[in-house]
Structure 1
C-alpha cells in the first residue's frame, strides 16, 4: 500500500490543502460559526484531494522555498475569501445607515454567524442576501473560483507583492462597497429625512405636540413601509453585489498571477 503512494506528490497536496482551508476561513457562508469546524476541515480535505487528481501538480522539493510557497498559498486563500467578505459587508453598512435613521441603532443584535453585534436591518438584508446566494448556487460558484484560481496562480509560482495594482484593487473594492451600501440605504434614509423635516415644521407650528414621542414610531412605520415598496430594488442591488464579488475575486487572482 505504501509503495503505491507517490511521496514526491505529498508536498503538492499539502500546498493545495493550505489554499483550500485558508479559503474556507474567510469566505462567506463557509466561514460562519454555525458551520461545524469538523465540516470545514472535512470538506477542505476532500476538495483538496479531488483537486490533487484534477490539476497537473509538478514535483516540489521540500526546502526553504517550500515554506514560502506554503505562506503564499495561505495568503491567496485568505485574500480571496476576505475580498468577498469585504464586498458583502456593504449590506451590513447599509443596514447601519437605515437603523440610525429609523431608531433601531439602540437595538443591535448578535449575529450567530460571526458572533459580532450587527444592525437589525443589516441582519435582515444579510439573511436575504445569503438566501439569494444559495438560491442561485452562488456557493458552487465560490468553490469553482478556488478551483480555477490555479489557472491564474500556479501552485509553484510566487506572488509579486510589489504590484501596485493589488493595492489599487483593494482600495477600489472598499470604494464600491460604500457606494453599494449608500445605494441600498438611500431610499429609506431619504424618506426618513423628509419625515424629520416634517416633524421639525410641526414642532415649530404646534409647540404643544411632543414630536419626540410621536416621531420614533412614525419613523419606524415609514421605514418599514418604504422597505416593503423597495424590496425588489434591494434584490436587484444584491444581484449586482454578487456580480461585483465574482469579478473582483477574478481580478485579484489575475493580479496575484502576474497578469
Structure 2
C-alpha cells in the first residue's frame, strides 16, 4: 500500500496548483484567448497543458495545506498577478476600439453597430473592424508567444509567496488613461479632417441658406470619413508596432523583467 505524508501531498499540490492559478488567470483575461469566442473549458484545458509543460523547469514552490488560510492567500495572490498581466494587454487592444468609436461618432457612423462576439456587447462597426485587424496583426507578429514567455519568466522574477506588488498595480491603474490618450492619437488625423469638412459645410450654409445641408452633408461626411479611414490604413502598422512595444514594456515591467 502506498503511504503518502502530508508534506508530500502539499508539495505536489503546491508545485502544480499554484502555477496553474496564475496561468489560468492570464488566459482568462488576456485578449484573443480570454474572450467569449474560446469556451472556458478549452481555456482551462490549455492552462492545464501549459502548466504541465512549465512545472518541471519552475523554481521550487512552497508547500501548502489545502485547508490552511495561507494557501488561500497564495491562490488569491497568483490570481491577482495573472489578472494584472492579462489586463495590461486588454489596455492595448481597447486603445484601437476607442479610436474606432471616436472616428465613428465624428463621421456619423455611430448608429451602425454590431454585436461584439468577444465581449457580448454592441459596438460600432468601425471599432469592431479595428479590433479584428489588431487581433490578426497581434497573432501574425507572434505577440501571444511573447506573452507566454513573459508569463513563464514571471515565476522567476515574481516567486510564489513573495507577496503582491502593490506599486506595480498602482502603475497599471495609472495606465488606464493611456487607453484614451492612445485612442485619441490614433483618431486625431480623422478628427482633424472631419472638422475641416464640417467647417466647410458651415461656410456653405452661411453663403447659401437655401441649401439643405443635412441632405448633402450627412452622406458626404460618411464618404469622406471612410476615405480618411482607408488612407489611414497605410500608417496603421507603424502605430500598431509603437503601441504594441509600449504594451509589452508595461507587461514586462509588471512582471519585473528587464
- Displacement of 1:191 in angstroms is 0.5
Alignment correspondent of 2:54: 51
Matches within 5 A, 1:24-43: 24-43=27-46
Q: Which moved more, 1:219-228 or 1:175-184?
A: 175-184
Tell whether the 8 Å contact from 2:13 to 2:64 is kept in structure 1 after alignment.
Answer: no
Alignment correspondent of 1:251: 253
Q: Secondary structure at the match of 2:37?
A: coil
Tell me the distance in 1 between the aligned counterparts of 2:180 and 2:236: 15
Alignment correspondent of 2:164: 159
- Displacement of 1:2 in angstroms is 6.5
Q: Does 1:185 align with 2:187?
A: yes
- Displacement of 1:160 in angstroms is 4.4
Tell me the distance in 1 between the aligned counterparts of 2:254 and 2:217: 46
Q: Secondary structure at the match of 1:167?
A: helix
Tell me the distance in 2 between the aligned counterparts of 1:75 and 1:3: 35
Tell whether the 8 Å contact from 2:150 to 2:255 is kept in structure 1 after alignment.
Answer: no
Alignment correspondent of 2:242: 240
Q: Secondary structure at the match of 1:207?
A: coil
Alignment correspondent of 2:205: 203
Q: Which moved more, 1:52-61 or 1:69-78?
A: 52-61
Tell me the distance in 1 between the aligned counterparts of 2:201 and 2:128: 28
**Closer, same or farther: CA 14–209 of 1 in aligned 2, 3 Å:** same
Tell whether the 8 Å contact from 2:114 to 2:124 is kept in structure 1 after alignment.
Answer: yes
- Displacement of 1:197 in angstroms is 0.3
TM-score with structure 1 length normalisation?
0.91
Q: Does 1:89 align with 2:89?
A: no
TM-score with structure 2 length normalisation?
0.91
Structure 1 residue ranges without an equivalent (≥5): none
Structure 2 residue ranges without an equivalent (≥5): none
Tell me the distance in 1 between the aligned counterparts of 2:188 and 2:3: 65
- Pick aligned residue for 1:20 from 19, 23, 30: 23
**Closer, same or farther: CA 203–81 of 1 in aligned 2, 3 Å:** same
Tell me the distance in 2 between the aligned counterparts of 1:115 and 1:159: 32
Q: Once superposed, what is the RMSD of the aligned Cα atoms?
A: 2.1
- Pick aligned residue for 1:128 from 133, 144, 152: 133
